[in-house]
A and B are shown apart, each in its own frame.
Chain A
Amino acid sequence: MKQLKHIKYKTLILFFIIGMIISLTSQCELTKGLIKSFVPMGGLIVGSAEAVQKLHEAYKAYTKEFTPKEEYYIGRSVSASLLQKRRIYSRKGNTPIESYIAKIGNTLAMASNLPETYQGYRFIVLKSRSINAFAVPSGYIFITTKLIETAANEDEIAGALAHEVSHVVLRHPTKSISSARKTEIVLDLIKYGASKATSKNKLLNSLTKSFGGVLDDIGKSVLKGYDKDAEKEADLAAVQLMINAGYNPKGLSAMLRKLKVGGGVHGSPKDRARDVDNKIATYSGKIPKMRRYRKNRFKDYVRKGKIRKVKRKRRAS
């Protein structure tokens, strides 16, 4: 009987330890408190408190989102890779057109739920013949000269930039990292991070390898576009963003209709424009008007920046 009672105690303690290990991945505050109190105890039972603590930290770090600083380093490297084959409008970024784009972009960023990133938003004009804009983690937003030329007014440029700012706010670039890659990072960290004997170099090598993988995943998504749902989510968030900043959201649907390429997994631009229009139609509040002052300003800035305006047919309104 006494022996049976002893076994019961042992089973209870065993269940307790298993429970603690399972709850390591949990985000609950209560279990966090329990973990914090009992990880050293668990470590003593297992034999190495330090190893368990490291394991706990590795889990904690990668079950959460990237910190703004980590996103910043990812954003920097993705930008450095993208700039390999792209020409920047000016190295100093002080031309009137670049200053103008930065002002529109910053106004939109200030109206968003993420007014600041680690180093702040950066709006970069690229010399390119394709209509394109893309966002990189931590708020590096690229827009091509062709897109600026194609826009009919400031609100259309704001539409394109609001869409990109929304991708950053909704953290779509970092969400595009494949789940297989995330598992690989966690496994690497457990393998190297939990071991007491591992040198800093080995861990650094492992992290650099993971970093490269993460950049590959993000780079692909940034250039090819996100999936249909993410694009739709960014479009709808951009409508709200434009309204908050004072821009007419119809600028976004007008810009989407000008896109020729698209479809497939990212959704056709026409369908996306229709969704944006539906969202505007069902909006209960007041929609900001398209101001003549902004139209005139747009013409001035684009001329000052010496960006050649492309001739386009006027659509019947």
Chain B
Amino acid sequence: MKQIKILLILIFCSTVLYGAKKGEGTLIVTVNRARIYKKASAFSKQVGRLAFGAYIKIEGQEGQWVKLSFNVREKSGDLKKVKGYIHLKSLINEENFKRQAESVKERKDREVKKGTGVTPFSEDDEIAAATKGFSEEDETAAATKGFSEDDEITAGSKGFSEEDEVTAGSKGFNKDVEAKYKKEHPKYKYNLVNKIDNRDTPNLYAVLKPWWKKAKLGKYGPYNPIKMKRKK
């Protein structure tokens, strides 16, 4: 009987320790280039983007939004601390992330604290995007002007690479599975889907803000979550 009691105590202790380890407050970005907003709303200004697999330390939570701070390297080379919000559904805990990546340890150095994996947006870029027309070409211009080509490449390469993804192949649908499926179905229009995927608008806020204003949409609509919070 004594042996069983000891066994039960051991189970209890290990469970408590495991739970404590889980509640450290670190989450991982699970979408490709997640948007970081100034306030807890998707209608607020966009301050940057985070690469897939970046670690973030939670500083607080407002509804479905997680508060975080990160360092951005300015043009002068200095690090500037920026606060922002990211949607909870763009994040995942480490345990679930392992389904997508096995080489989590290798990527620890990509922590947001160090300012890597973050693509910041400056005021100038926003103005540039806002003053130009609304065509798709302008959106592309807004996308590339926010940061230098090098920055983007740096952020991208430090993110979770496709090779890493392949290592996680044993646990679900990924690029390997898609490639095999594509071979079996040569008539499927993957080339068109690739083109569609490339239609990215990095700073959506800068493009949509002038478009919302007169139309009373988004942050100018009757349900602006930021204004509603202030009123409360």
What chain B residues lie within 8 Å of A98 (beta carbons)? 136
Please give me the residue from chain B that is nearest to A140 by CB atom: B196
* Interface size of B in residues (CB-CB distance below 8 Å): 72
Could you tell me which residues of chain B, from 48 to 106, have a CB within 8 Å of some CB in chain A?
Answer: 52, 64, 87, 89-90, 92, 96, 99-100
**Complex Cα–Cα for A291 and B89 (A):** 32
What chain B residues lie within 8 Å of A183 (beta carbons)? none
**Complex Cα–Cα for A81 and B182 (A):** 10
Pairwise interchain contact A203-B170, C-beta atoms closer than 8 A: yes
Pairwise interchain contact A246-B220, C-beta atoms closer than 8 A: yes
Query: SS class of chain B's interface: helix, strand, loop or mixed?
Result: helix
Please give me the residue from chain A that is nearest to B197 by CB atom: A119
CB distance from A289 to the nearest CB of B (A): 8
Query: SS class of chain A's interface: helix, strand, loop or mixed?
Result: helix
Pairwise interchain contact B208-A106, C-beta atoms closer than 8 A: yes
Q: Does B148 contact A (CB under 8 A)?
A: no
Please give me the residue from chain A that is nearest to B204 by CB atom: A106
Once A12-B4, A96-B135, A294-B215 are accepted as A-B contacts, the answer to whether A110 and B11 lie under 8 Å apart by CB is: no
What chain B residues lie within 8 Å of A93 (beta carbons)? 136, 195-196, 199
Please give me the residue from chain B that is nearest to A36 by CB atom: B18
Pairwise interchain contact B196-A37, C-beta atoms closer than 8 A: no
**Complex Cα–Cα for A70 and B215 (A):** 36
B15: which of A34, A114, A193, A244 is its contact (CB, 8 Å)? A34
Instruction: Pick the 3 closest A-B CB pairs, nearest first.
Output: A246-B221, A94-B136, A110-B42
Residues of chain A whose beta carbon lies under 8 Å from any beta carbon of chain B: 9, 12, 29-30, 32-34, 36-38, 57, 61, 64, 66-70, 72-74, 76-77, 79-81, 83-84, 88, 91-96, 98-99, 102-103, 106-107, 110-111, 113-120, 122, 124, 140, 154, 193, 200, 203-205, 207-208, 211-212, 214-215, 243-247, 285-286, 288-289, 291, 293-294, 297
Ordered by A's residue number, 25 sampled pairs between the chains whose C-beta atoms are within 8 Å are A33-B15, A67-B92, A67-B96, A67-B99, A67-B100, A69-B174, A70-B174, A73-B178, A76-B193, A80-B193, A84-B188, A93-B196, A99-B136, A107-B212, A110-B208, A111-B42, A116-B87, A118-B32, A120-B201, A124-B196, A204-B177, A204-B180, A211-B178, A212-B184, A246-B216
